[in-house]
Amino acid sequence: KEVVFCKVVNFSFSIFDKNINFSNVKFEDKLYFDKCQFKEKFEFFGINNLKAEFNNSFFEKEVYFGKEINDKNIEKSNSFGSCSFEYANFSNCYFKNEVYFKNNDFKQVIFRNSKFNDNVYFNNAHFKDYVDFHECEFEKTASFYGVRFEKAPNFSACYFKEPKAVNLINVDIDKLDFRSAEDYIQDNYQDGNYKNAIKNNEKIQKDEKELYRIENEHKLRYAKNLKDSFRVIKDVLINQNNTLEAQEWHKLELYAKEKEIAIKAKSAIDVIDCKNASAKFLKEELYDFTEWINFVLLFIYRNTSSHHTSFLKILNFTVVMIALYASFVWWLQINNTVQFVYEFIFITAFRVIVIIAFLSYITYEGAFKLRIFRFLLFLGMGCSIFLLFLFQDPEPIIIYCYILLVSFLSWIFFSEKFSRFFVSTLAYIVFFVVLIAKPQFINPFTGVFSSDKLYESKFEKSLNDLNASAIINLAKISFKEFNLHQEYKNISFTELNSAKTLIMANKENLLKLNDANLNIAKEVLGEKYTELLKTINQDKITEDTIKSTSVLYSIILLLCIFSLQKTARKNSIVPS
């Protein structure tokens, strides 16, 4: 039998030690729970025409509103001001009049499939845990002014009838990052549907592959829901012409997209349906490669510029790349460095290649089933080993060193804040030294077109140490048409410099002298001739290496400059 309260019911300033349950009850007037404390569950089932005040109340346990309500309830205005909810469930509720949740603290609250027929206010609310607005409908004003989200909210499939009536001013999402997206998926994918899929099915529970497939399926669904959640708010802000705030939600949307690709990659074969085995194989590989490219791009942009939202982050990365290349070129010029590195790497090349291949295999076996990539990886490394033994050329070894250095420093930069701070500090010190000593490094094309400006020639330095007689003889040997009628003792400074320039331009001729000229060179220079040949070879290796690595450096620096200008433009007050 239904219990009816005809007058005002006031429970204000009360403390409830046991469960509170209101079911099959009718309140014809207001219900007050101001400044109450609920130590156990608080349940409202099937309550119609309710107008309730819960100002400044504290809920220690679950709060259920409408979870098992047959008739759509809450026909009058509802005010929940300054409340603290441990857990509140408002699923499938219908709020006919205005609803106030101002200044409330929520640990976890669910509004799934609820409809707000009038204005709803969450002003200055604090959501400490997950909040679920999945498939909610907002007919009028929805105010989230000053709301703080500590974990990722779910607005997927939400409907805002009047997007411009949604107030998202001063919404605090500072704690939402890539880790938040990962945590949301991990914490929520084992929902009722997941439990029903494996419940009372011993075959699935014992089959690890099938269980893994079901887990990925549900994780993927939550990743897509999260991506759609951020997209919904982004679209609302774009509709309001608030592009600066919209890009923050777009950044979160890309975080969710990255997780979605990573999850899809783990079960790529399951999404491809093809009867022909060969066609299926090619489709799998093409699908994997496309998704892998998208994943890598999202990963790089997330770590270098937070998807073009953090100017300081991309500036730091650019400075690190400039400082790294400047240090690399300086390192090349140290005496015997190239030969030492060549010998060391040549000895350990096979081991390193095998280790890299093995790690790549493990990585892609777990994330991307890219068999062609692994095959090409092994084939390319095998060819590299063959070429190393066949040609004994140190230049590609040094280039590989630069690539490894870029990868290693990028990995450190992408890791923890302390490592990033340490690397950035050193990079800025090197950068300012470079800016003063050799600003040419900032030009991405200097090394490609004029590599001699980036390093000091050891051959030129050795040439300056020779006497005038040796210089004149070297000029005659290296360039047949060189003719000096006067004695070297009377040679002018200008003519001596011209002879040096001539030798520098024709230094490669010194490496292939005939017997007569070779005897003259050894007679005039003695052991210095052998040292000169070594410096010529070292300069050649250095120059070729700089030219080769400069192509890679130019690409990296141009991408950094592009990201810098794009990030600066997106954060500008001037519309792009």
Give the model's confidence band at 70: pLDDT under 50 very low, under 70 low, under 90 confident, else very high: very low
CA distance 221 to 224: 5
Which of 392-401, 510-519, 533-542: highest mean pLDDT? Answer: 533-542
pLDDT tens-digit series, residues 360-392? 554 444 445 455 455 555 555 565 555 555 545
pLDDT at position 274: 47
Give the model's confidence band at 74: pLDDT under 50 very low, under 70 low, under 90 confident, else very high: very low
Residues 482-521: b if buried by 16+ CB within 10 A, e if exposed: beeeeebeebeeebeeebbebbeebbeebeebeeebeebb
What number is the average pLDDT over the span 239-245? 90
pLDDT at position 329: 80
pLDDT tens-digit series, residues 303-327? 888 888 888 888 988 998 888 888 8
The lowest-confidence range among 66-70, 149-153, 453-457 is 66-70
CA distance 176 to 353: 39
More confident residue, 289 or 129: 129
More confident residue, 416 or 99: 99
**Which tokens hold the place of 318?**
């650019």
Domain spans in the chain, listed from the N-terminal domain onward? 3-175, 192-266, 458-556
For residue 132, give the nearest of 150, 146, 153, 113 by alpha carbon.
153
CA distance 308 to 300: 11
Other C-beta atoms closer than 10 Å to the C-beta of 402 total 22
The lowest-confidence range among 213-227, 362-376, 424-438, 475-489 is 362-376
CA distance 135 to 158: 5
Q: Which H, E and C letters describe 153-205, residue by residue?
A: CECCCCEECCHHHEECCCCECCCCCHHHHHHHHHHHCCCHHHHHHHCCCHHHH
pLDDT at position 120: 87
Would you say residue 249 has pLDDT above 80?
yes
CA distance 74 to 49: 5
Give the model's confidence band at 273: pLDDT under 50 very low, under 70 low, under 90 confident, else very high: very low
Beta bridge partner(s), residue 234: none
Other C-beta atoms closer than 10 Å to the C-beta of 401 total 19
CA distance 556 to 573: 28
What number is the average pLDDT over the span 229-247? 92
Q: Give percent of the chain with pLDDT exceeding 70.
A: 60
- The H-or-E segment that residue 319 falls in is helix 311-332
Spatial contact of 229 and 258, defined as CB atoms under 8 Å apart: no
Q: What string of DSSP letters covers 107-143?
A: SSEE-TT-EE-S-EE-TT-EE-S-EE-TT-EE-S-EE
**Which tokens hold the place of 72?**
């759509």
pLDDT tens-digit series, residues 275-303? 444 444 445 555 566 777 788 888 888 88
The fold adopted by the segment(s) 3-175 is: Pectate Lyase C-like (2.160.20)
- The H-or-E segment that residue 325 falls in is helix 311-332
Decide the pairing of beta strands 142-143 and 166-167: parallel
CA distances from 327 to 142, 228, 257, 304, 323 (A): 55, 45, 37, 21, 6
Would you say residue 67 has pLDDT above 50?
no
CA distance 83 to 228: 29
pLDDT at position 282: 46
Would you say residue 72 has pLDDT above 60?
no
Which of 1-5, 63-67, 81-85, 107-111: highest mean pLDDT? Answer: 107-111
Spatial contact of 565 and 308, defined as CB atoms under 8 Å apart: no
Would you say residue 159 has pLDDT above 90?
yes
Give the model's confidence band at 517: pLDDT under 50 very low, under 70 low, under 90 confident, else very high: low
pLDDT tens-digit series, residues 458-483? 767 777 666 666 766 666 666 665 55
CA distance 563 to 543: 29
The residue behind tokens 């210089």 is: 471
For residue 500, give the nearest of 541, 552, 446, 461 by alpha carbon.
461
More confident residue, 43 or 324: 324
pLDDT tens-digit series, residues 392-422? 566 666 676 677 777 777 777 777 676 778 8
pLDDT at position 210: 78
Q: What string of DSSP letters covers 72-98?
A: ----S-EE--S-EEEEEE-TT-EE-S-
The lowest-confidence range among 429-433, 487-491, 525-529 is 487-491
CA distance 521 to 528: 9
pLDDT at position 73: 40
pLDDT at position 345: 54
Would you say residue 132 has pLDDT above 90?
yes
For residue 451, give the nearest of 324, 342, 551 by alpha carbon.
551
CA dihedral 277, 282, 287, 288 (to 10 degrees): 100
The lowest-confidence range among 109-123, 161-175, 244-258 is 109-123
Angle at 431 between CA 430 and CA 434, to 5 degrees: 85
